[in-house]
Structure 1
Amino acid sequence: MRNLVHKLRLFEVSLLFFCCFPLVIDLKIKALIAILFGLLQVFLIFFQPYKSKSKGVLLPFIMVLPFLYLLVTLLYSSNVDQGIKSYERYSIILIIPWVFYANRSYFNGATLKKVFAFFAVVISILVVYAVSTMIFAGTFHEMLNSKAGYYIVRTKFESVTGLHPTYFSIYAGIAIVGLVHFVINTTKRKYHFPVFVLLSILTVGLLVASSKMLIFSTVLSVIFVVRKYLKQRKYLIISGFSILIIAVLLISLKPTRQRLTEFYSAITTKSVDHNNPDGMRKIIYSSSVDAVINNFWVGSGLGDEQNELNKIYSIKGYDFAVEKEYNTHNQYLHFTLVGGIIGLFLFVLLLLTHLVIAKISNNDLYKAVLIIFTLSFCTENILNRQDGIFVFAFFTALLPYASWKSIEGQVFVNGKFLKQKLTGVQRFAGEIINQFDKNKIQHKIIRPNQKNAIWLILWEQVLLPFYLLVCGRPVLVNLCNIAPVVYPANIVIIHDLAFLENKNWYSKPFQLWYNYAIPRVALKALRIGSVSNFTKNELLGHFDIPSYKVKVLYNGIPTFKSSLDIDEPIVKGNYALSVGSINKRKNQETLIRAFLENKDLPVKLVLAGSIDEKLFGDSDLTEKINTAENIEFIESPGDSELINLYKNADLTFYIPFYEGFGLPVLESFYFKKPTVVSNIEVFNELYSDFAVFADPNDVTDIADKCRETFNNRHSIIETMNDQEGSITNRFSYKKTALELYKLIKPLTF
């Protein structure tokens, strides 16, 4: 049966079948289409081609949540019967997100193209039928000879199609942007002419329907879709020319010209013309706002919203509005009136969730359709009729799950490091991304838009996991120790556990945060990368983590230097260079004391790094550095400065009390500079072949090793040259990136 289902392409057939609903006028037949579609989707659940890697029910839950909340409002509605009758319309919007979620493995890019193309053909057929009927009925001739030509055309159009012009315009707008997106993304010229014909037909239909907001939103969506396919100047010229043509058409055609005239009259006069729809909207919106204020927190309840509006109309003397029972004509106001601020929040959350998925999946068609919906909601209660609910439920469920398919298999990277100060941890992240690019490993960096430290934590711990959970819960690669604590699909690189070694090395807020976050991240992570065996053993010792979850992924020989040339030396004379963040753990204080107490050393000390006293606690290191005669400090050097400093140094120091890897040691090796390092476990693991070891607590030993290394620097350099092949092979960012990808791949494909 499974093979037969796939051979007949029943999933695609069911989608195309549903796209035929605009051709049906009878509401009972439309309801039958919805029921048959739902039953077929349930049937298809049992014959899926494979088990989808995309997971998480947060998206379908958010998609139905605003409408479930409307059901809750019936508890305090005084007109429950009317509320239940209204709620029956939402049944399909509660079903489609779940059946599409269950059938998400069926979706692919080709399915989306077929659906939009078929929908465009369906709407074009409807336009041809409606316009030809109106021509033969003499509607357009009657329009030209009547002052109410606009109303004659719209009324006839609605009677022929069975659709309110606003709803038809939504259909036409979606069809147009779908065709435009298709034609600019296809290389097959054979499709250009039929697409042009369909676009022409749909444009005629859009102009005949004469819905101002939908014409505007469609034009805006089309401009948005084509923006990145044209050079800026060409794009601006074409966009401006298109807008000019549309403006001329709007002014030239009688129905649209009449609509524009009425709109201008409505906004420039204080009186209300009952025959001017735009004038009526002024009293509708002002009355709706008053009704919302009266029911701000929890709303009126579903079924009572029209009674609340009618009360305001009566108070203001708008008896004709009471008689016509004008609704809010704004979907946002409707949700606020019915469900209060909570109802509005849930509805806006739904729209923002769609925007997040469209942005992360880089789906311009999705974004364009959202533009049409969000703008049309400003002028109509689109979801108060079955025609609006059908199209909204269908396309806002179709597009996100198709986007999930495009996301499947991608490597997602936590991009917080791009907004942080550059230290060894951030440099590791940058090098891995560089290797992903070079080795054509598909990845997507999700990055915050601000640098504020508090904001970065909120972004990483709240917004980032939300983004990912509504995008199918893809695997997230976190390259800099921390990951979203609540997110269940993390791969995290942990560089060290220094915060557990000595609480005095860090500020109290930092210590509290890392003590809370790191254990939880480590325990929940799918896989952990550690930058040394030392760090791996620390992880296994401190946390109850199975050994198979932790993979050693070394730092590599830095690559950022190869493309930059050396300039005039920044520092004159002989000097020893120490690179790294200036803080207690890095132990620059002992190094400074060694140089202060041994003025006869053959070199002066140059410290290069950043001092973050706010993060690492109060320190008087700055004062000691500034007052020393044989010590220079270069704060936060860029790549070119760092290259200059390394190339002109006689030797380097890196003597921290505790370290997870010690990237500056590899940087020194790259430049073939003799290196004095701390005699600690991790450095004995990594650098015993070429480094000189010193006691990080012994000022005398540090000074002695400085003299010894300076005097023997040439023989040490020869040893480093002999070791270059093995060291370069052992410490390679390419090797590390590929090993990391091996961890990721089984979890994403």
Structure 2
Amino acid sequence: MASLVIFPLIFTLFPRSYLDDISKNTYKYITVYFIAILSFNLISFFYHGLHYGQTIFIHYPTVNKIAQGPYNIHPIYLSVHICVALLFSFFIIRKLQSNYKRAAIIVFDIILIIFLFILLKKGPIIVLALVFLIFALFQRSKKVLYIALLVIILNVVAIMSIPEYRAKFSELVKIENVDSGGATSTNIRYSIYSIAIKKMLESPIIGYGIGDNKDVLLETYKKESPTLYKEKYNSHNQYISFMLAMGIIGLMVFLFFMSYNLVYAIRYNNQILILLILLYGLMMSFENILEREDGVIYFSFFIGFFALISYNEQINKSLPNSKMSDKQ
């Protein structure tokens, strides 16, 4: 959690001379991240595919979770990285002048979307669709909006056409207690939230303390849900986790942090930061993004880095005479 303080502090110490260069080269940096996520998935897929053959399409989520040593990553967090990479690609495509390069990025996007479907985590898919639609609205172009809607519709058709995916998404309309209705991801979250919200309301102001919040959940699972207790689940919701750990005070501080950056992003039309905050904010409604798989490091770095660009815009607008003299 120290990342939430350390990265913003580091970025505030950057010399003024760095800021314009960072703004100019942002698209290079996000392209590196995009290629890194694409490469990770391709290398992992083909490496394990040598052992599993065609069944790698079934085993890919599991091998990423348990069979890669120090590179193990839970499928839902790999899905989050893919979503961030796809988000970055929207802006990379818009920046490129060459149609060939745009076509290449679109092909890479299709590959990442395929990996997203292989990982079969419905939350990130739904969030990405919403963020993609918001991006299209930002462009204020009917053509872009129609393309976005077409892509979303094609993905919905693909989901409905494949039995495994159709069954996975149908969980959303049949929600039951995990101990009586089966251990689906939706039932698990429903049962966790039912218990976590009760505990949250018992100590709403200051919570139970960082670290103790998980123990409180486990003790309650032990009494109310053998399935949840056996798997030692966390709250699977970052906002509930803040409430359990630090109460309404901790949650309000975090929401202020998010809102402050969002307001500045909107003021200076920092579309990448706006969509990144929305993407992470929505993901946090069904996963503890900041507490597992080094998620807090990536979150803090990206928010701090793109907030730096908003800050640079603020300085440039407040010092027009200085910038003019620099150019002269």
Q: Scaled by the length of structure 2, what TM-score is found? A: 0.88
Within 1, Cα distance between the matches of 2:8 and 2:202? 33
1:99 Cα shift?
Answer: 0.9
What CA deviation, in whole Å up to 9, does each residue of 1:104-148 have, x standing for no partner?
5323323311111000000000111122234333364376xxxxx
- Contact preservation (8 Å) 2:75, 2:119: yes
Within 2, Cα distance between the matches of 1:748 and 1:342? 45
- Change over 3 Å in CA distance of 1:192–1:142 after alignment to 2: closer
In the TM superposition, 1:59-458 aligns within 5 A as 90-103=1-14, 105=16, 106-107=18-19, 108-138=22-52, 140-141=54-55, 152-159=59-66, 160=68, 162-229=72-139, 231-232=141-142, 234-253=143-162, 255-266=164-175, 272-315=180-223, 317-410=224-317
Please identify runs of 4+ aligned residues in structure 1 that moved more than 4 A: 746-749
1:225 Cα shift?
Answer: 2.0
1:264 Cα shift?
Answer: 3.5
- Change over 3 Å in CA distance of 1:393–1:306 after alignment to 2: same
- Contact preservation (8 Å) 1:306, 1:327: yes
1:324 Cα shift?
Answer: 1.9
- Change over 3 Å in CA distance of 1:109–1:158 after alignment to 2: same
What CA deviation, in whole Å up to 9, does each residue of 1:52-97 have, x standing for no partner?
xxxxxxxxxxxxxxxxxxxxxxxxxxxxxxxxxxxxxx23333111
SS at match of 1:163: coil
Figure out how many residues of one structure are paired with residues of the other and give that number. Answer: 319
Compare 293-302 and 401-410 and name the one that shifted more: 401-410
Larger radius of gyration: 1
SS at match of 2:174: helix
Within 2, Cα distance between the matches of 1:141 and 1:386? 26
- Change over 3 Å in CA distance of 1:110–1:208 after alignment to 2: farther
- Contact preservation (8 Å) 1:225, 1:365: no
Q: Which amino acid aligns with 2:199?
A: A
1:279 Cα shift?
Answer: 0.9
- Contact preservation (8 Å) 1:331, 1:382: yes
Within 2, Cα distance between the matches of 1:288 and 1:748? 56
- Contact preservation (8 Å) 1:134, 1:157: no
For the aligned residues, what is the CA RMSD?
Answer: 2.5
Within 2, Cα distance between the matches of 1:304 and 1:248? 44
Within 2, Cα distance between the matches of 1:384 and 1:239? 32
Q: Which amino acid aligns with 1:294?
A: E
Within 2, Cα distance between the matches of 1:353 and 1:103? 20
- Contact preservation (8 Å) 2:239, 2:285: yes
- Change over 3 Å in CA distance of 1:375–1:398 after alignment to 2: same
Within 1, Cα distance between the matches of 2:324 and 2:191? 54
1:290 Cα shift?
Answer: 0.6
1:213 Cα shift?
Answer: 1.6
Within 2, Cα distance between the matches of 1:138 and 1:181? 36
Within 1, Cα distance between the matches of 2:92 and 2:24? 11
SS at match of 1:382: coil
What CA deviation, in whole Å up to 9, does each residue of 1:509-558 have, x standing for no partner?
xxxxxxxxxxxxxxxxxxxxxxxxxxxxxxxxxxxxxxxxxxxxxxxxxx
Q: Which amino acid aligns with 1:212?
A: K
1:195 Cα shift?
Answer: 1.3
Within 1, Cα distance between the matches of 2:56 and 2:43? 19
- Change over 3 Å in CA distance of 1:254–1:112 after alignment to 2: farther
Within 1, Cα distance between the matches of 2:302 and 2:116? 19
| Structure 2: gaps spanning 5 or more residues | none
What CA deviation, in whole Å up to 9, does each residue of 1:289-325 have, x standing for no partner?
011011111110112101221233234x212322322
- Change over 3 Å in CA distance of 1:285–1:191 after alignment to 2: same
SS at match of 1:201: helix
Q: Which amino acid aligns with 2:206?
A: V
1:216 Cα shift?
Answer: 1.5
SS at match of 2:290: helix
SS at match of 1:305: helix
Does residue 314 of structure 2 align to residue 745 of structure 1?
no
Within 1, Cα distance between the matches of 2:27 and 2:241? 33
Within 1, Cα distance between the matches of 2:179 and 2:293? 34
Within 1, Cα distance between the matches of 2:272 and 2:15? 19
In the TM superposition, 1:11-90 aligns within 5 A as 90=1
Within 2, Cα distance between the matches of 1:279 and 1:388? 24
Compare 155-164 and 289-298 and name the one that shifted more: 155-164
- Change over 3 Å in CA distance of 1:238–1:408 after alignment to 2: same
User: Which residue matches 1:17?
Assistant: none
What CA deviation, in whole Å up to 9, does each residue of 1:459-512 have, x standing for no partner?
xxxxxxxxxxxxxxx47xxxxxxxxxxxxxxxxxxxxxxxxxxxxxxxxxxxxx
Within 2, Cα distance between the matches of 1:142 and 1:120? 23
- Change over 3 Å in CA distance of 1:228–1:747 after alignment to 2: closer
- Contact preservation (8 Å) 1:272, 1:279: no
More strand by share: 1
- Change over 3 Å in CA distance of 1:239–1:376 after alignment to 2: same
What CA deviation, in whole Å up to 9, does each residue of 1:243-285 have, x standing for no partner?
1111122234455334213333336x89733431211111100
1:218 Cα shift?
Answer: 1.5
- Contact preservation (8 Å) 1:299, 1:341: yes
Within 1, Cα distance between the matches of 2:171 and 2:280? 24
Q: Which amino acid aligns with 2:169?
A: L
Higher relative contact order (CA 8 A, sep 6+): 2
| Structure 1: gaps spanning 5 or more residues | 1-89, 144-148, 411-473, 476-743
1:180 Cα shift?
Answer: 1.1
